[in-house]
Structure 1
């Protein structure tokens, strides 16, 4: 899955790059002083070293200063002026000129191409001007060509880093948009399946009955009254199914951990029924959005069956990681129990178990129903190894 880079992450990247460059500056100052060993340290040299060290440490150690520069790049023009001042005071052959190199790469990264190019021209022109004034004759290759070329090259490297990072940010936004579009498509497909499997069939039956009702009213008014009552019950069932679909869609909450959603389901069920419902969680596990929706629907159906038919004294929901990265979820009640059909079909006139089996098949997970008269019922689902992003969900023992 592609990483999505936020504005905050972009600013953090900028602060880190500035910090690295300032660390290089401090190392360059130490190297310069090592090269000056045995020479007289003038007040101007010490002042320039102090100013460069202070600015470098401020940008490296203070998150507030780094954040300010990241959000207000033009503030870094002050550092460009400091670098020019160091060159003007100490000359172009001073070892401390090495410390001004960090300014060039940060300039290329922070500023747009026109501004960065202007800063590069200012750095190079200032360097050449000082070199021409201080060393009109006999200036070395590095002084006249090497250092200015390094300035230009570092500004170009900073600009290339800027554009590469901008491209990464843009690709992250594209990835986020694609993920949102895919999630929206999944939600539409899931809603269509829900409408087809439950509400659509009920409404189709109501529509067929409504078509036949006028003829019954003319031919057999008594039968028409019974038929109209059946239609009313069908319409009521359709309304309940529509509400259930909306409740499931709203209760999924894919941005919340699965354990939190299950805990909310247990609390709501306990409040509604007055029967204790306990959630046990073993390990930090979750499911992909598509499988998660179907699993939550199976859990809801198992709890609803317990409420309607089992007369339990308590219900226990378990969420746990299993060997190999699998995820297991079970709903266990201590109610009346029943004899499950070997093929997993619902009893005549009911559709809960059949619907759970269809959902499990749709999500690619296994479904096991264990029950016996007077021994309660357990509905358990098991998902294969789950990959969330680049990480595999594992149990605490793995």
Structure 2
């Protein structure tokens, strides 16, 4: 999900929470107003106002369709302003039900931009004043003449301040997300540049040198020229393979996505391809540098392929764990036949997987460990280590404890 899409979704969630909170406050105000009406004659207009306010509030609060419509079309809440004025007109400014209209002012400030909120505020205050002047027989006082209109204005201002703070938070979060994506992309470009220089660049340079010498050798030494031509052909194939591997690496990881999400997809794809259950567990907050992500994914992929080829396992567990100090551990454990690790931590005779995984771990500044024994499965784990720890330069192997 892009940053603008996430911001829009967050804004809709904020609108929904504001609506829910305001309607709960309104229902509480209705209850308080009913307490204030105890001992008074319940007229039909007052009863109708209470029913209208309660039904409209509950319909928005309990109906996802109505709530979703208001979230998508905030201007529909202008109808609530008109309902509030109608209530004031019917019950009069002295009725406790006037308290219910205060929640309208607060929500207006939160949902609308300044211009629309100010317009709604003018409508609320003007309507209230007109109702008060329409019935001059009502008791005069500060709260009736100035207090309630001032509360309308103040609550709209408070709602606007909350809206502004929320929008500022969204902008800051979006900028942080965009900066993080830009940094991840820059790291990825730098990593690919290093890999192209170390592999593809050197191969192409060798091909270029051989091609420069080939015309002269064709004239002076055809036999040597034939050898050069074969070498150039092999070099071209090697360059093509290296380019293909680079493309695969570019597609293997998406730096803008959470590492746990990418790892989960990798495990699910492996399980579907081989029919062996592969369960991923994530513990703690896990974050990996862009330069390490591919290496760790490649180690996990190699470990899973070893399980499929050699382990004859019934199930596999992949554990992604966040450790103290920002360190990370990733482990792949199977219940297969296992093997007897070599004392030097190298691959078994005729295989090179463990050696390659150890090299990848060193490249990522991590340490590989392998625990296995015949009949007791295998656990391959890679863990972040202190750069000054010389143990990171070699894999750690041990036999699994007997069951």
* Same fold (TM > 0.5): yes
**What is the rounded CA distance, in whole Å, between the counterparts of 1:233 and 1:148 in structure 2?**
86
Q: TM-score, normalised by structure 2?
A: 0.77
SS state at 1:92 partner: coil
Return the offset for 1:204: 2.2
CA deviation map 1:94-134 (0-9, x unaligned): 10000111111111122221221121112112212222232
Structure 1 residue aligned with 2:163: 162
SS state at 2:94 partner: coil
Structure 1 residue aligned with 2:382: 382
SS state at 2:93 partner: coil
Structure 2 residue aligned with 1:328: 330
Shift of the 193–298 alpha-carbon distance from structure 1 to 2, 3 Å rule, reads farther
Return the offset for 1:13: 1.4
> Are the equivalent residues in 1 in contact too, given 2:125–2:149 (CA < 8 A)?
yes
**What is the rounded CA distance, in whole Å, between the counterparts of 2:77 and 2:100 in structure 1?**
15
Indicate yes or no: 2:33 matched with 1:20: no
Return the offset for 1:92: 0.7
In structure 2, runs of 5+ residues without a counterpart are 386-403
CA deviation map 1:350-369 (0-9, x unaligned): 99877654532342211246
Q: How many residues align?
A: 368
**What is the rounded CA distance, in whole Å, between the counterparts of 1:371 and 1:19 in structure 2?**
56
Shift of the 124–184 alpha-carbon distance from structure 1 to 2, 3 Å rule, reads same
> Are the equivalent residues in 2 in contact too, given 1:120–1:151 (CA < 8 A)?
yes
Shift of the 103–382 alpha-carbon distance from structure 1 to 2, 3 Å rule, reads same
Indicate yes or no: 2:321 matched with 1:319: no
Aligned pairs for 1:1-398 (under 5 A) are: 5-135=6-136, 139-253=140-254, 255=257, 256-265=261-270, 280-281=278-279, 283-284=281-282, 288=288, 290=290, 291-299=292-300, 312=310, 319-321=318-320, 324=323, 326-330=328-332, 356-368=357-369, 380-384=380-384
Q: TM-score, normalised by structure 1?
A: 0.78
**What is the rounded CA distance, in whole Å, between the counterparts of 2:311 and 2:360 in structure 1?**
28
- For the aligned residue pairs, the C-alpha RMSD in angstroms reads 3.8
CA deviation map 1:159-188 (0-9, x unaligned): 112222222222232223222212211221
Return the offset for 1:67: 1.6
Return the offset for 1:338: 9.3
**What is the rounded CA distance, in whole Å, between the counterparts of 1:69 and 1:108 in structure 2?**
15
Shift of the 23–300 alpha-carbon distance from structure 1 to 2, 3 Å rule, reads closer
**What is the rounded CA distance, in whole Å, between the counterparts of 1:32 and 1:364 in structure 2?**
67
> Are the equivalent residues in 1 in contact too, given 2:267–2:280 (CA < 8 A)?
no
> Are the equivalent residues in 1 in contact too, given 2:339–2:378 (CA < 8 A)?
no
**What is the rounded CA distance, in whole Å, between the counterparts of 1:253 and 1:18 in structure 2?**
37
Shift of the 211–266 alpha-carbon distance from structure 1 to 2, 3 Å rule, reads farther
Return the offset for 1:20: 0.9
> Are the equivalent residues in 2 in contact too, given 1:131–1:139 (CA < 8 A)?
no
CA deviation map 1:280-325 (0-9, x unaligned): 4462367636222112234556788x79xxx957589752256947
SS state at 1:64 partner: helix
Shift of the 148–248 alpha-carbon distance from structure 1 to 2, 3 Å rule, reads same
